[in-house]
Structure 1
Amino acid sequence: MSDDLMHLKVLLPSEVFLDVAEVRRVVFETSEGSYGLLPHRLDCVAALVPGILTYQTASSAEQYVAVDEGVLTKAGAQVSVAVRQALGGSDLAQLQAAVDKQFKAQEATERTNRRVMAQLESGFIARLEKYKST
């Protein structure tokens, strides 16, 4: 790899989501705003907020990754991003639609989980009351 390029990895809890060599630049979002990384920038660590991570390789146009909150580290030419969720694409409109779809599915799952937890709690309280009365 050339000194003017970086290696980008996006890591999820269960897998390596993205592993790209020959990256020219990376743009990411923090609570303080957007920042860009170039190959010769000093090493750093940043807390990411949910948003769009943009990168460009030596041989392609900009690519986009929608990321959840997480951490970005740059050490030498290695840029690692650890997040809970990520979706990638080269078209922002399609990426937005995919994020919306995943968000709606996640919201439905969370609603179901809250309902099940409420049922478990009420069942536990009912059994505890029954146990107390005996």
Structure 2
Amino acid sequence: MHLRILLPFAVFVDRQHVQRIVVATTAGAYGFWPHRLDCVAALVPGILTYASEADGEVPIAVDEGALVKTGPEVWVSVRRAVGGVALEALQAAVEQQFLQLDEQQRAARAAMARMEAGLVRRIAEFDRGR
């Protein structure tokens, strides 16, 4: 298989001759082999592992995103990825960086929702005053 892991600003991994891929999805962990049927999967923050003869088993921490398999091509699109360190460090990166940032994003979205609601309320009050 040909694996590409894409970030918003770069290609993180581009490997040919990948033998298998294991990744965490919203429906649990799935393995992808060369002859598996084509599919699309929503990814959750976790560890993606791929194996090839040249590299052996390679773990990569990935943030949420999507995986698309069409024939021998596997495209993984995620917001963030970390690789090149021990598996334990990758698991810590997932827990500390990716999940913590999700909490920060939720807080920011809640603050934006409050601001938008306040703006709508003020516009409605202004419109009633006319």
Q: Which amino acid is 1:60 matched to? A: D
Where 1:59 maps in the other structure, the secondary structure is coil
Q: Relative to 1, partners in 2 of residues 1:72 and 1:52: Cα closer, same or farther, differing over 3 Å?
A: farther
The equivalent residue for 1:72 is 68
CA contact under 8 A between 1:29 and 1:35: conserved in structure 2?
no
Match of 2:5 among 10, 15, 18: 10
**Residue matched to 1:117:** 113
Q: Could you say which residue in structure 1 is the equivalent of 2:90?
A: 95
Contact between 1:48 and 1:72, CA under 8 Å: does it hold in 2?
A: no
Q: List, as ranges, runs of 4+ consecutive aligned residues in structure 1 with deviation greater than 4 Å.
A: none
Letter paired with 1:98: A
Displacement after TM superposition at 1:19 (Å): 1.1
Q: Could you say what secondary structure the match of 2:54 adopts? A: coil
Q: Structure 1: state its 5+ residue gaps.
A: 1-5
Query: Per the alignment, in what secondary structure is the counterpart of residue 17 of structure 2?
Result: strand
Q: Is the radius of gyration larger for structure 1 or structure 2?
A: 1
CA contact (8 A) 1:10 1:80 kept: yes
| Match runs of 1:36-47 below 5 Å | 36-37=32-33, 39=34, 41-47=35-41
Count of residue correspondences: 125
Deviation, 1:54, is 0.8
Identity %: 26
Q: Which amino acid aligns with 2:88?
A: A
Change (3 A) 1:106 1:128: same
User: 21, 34, 42: which one pairs with 1:26?
Assistant: 21
Q: Which runs of 5+ in 2 are unaligned?
A: none
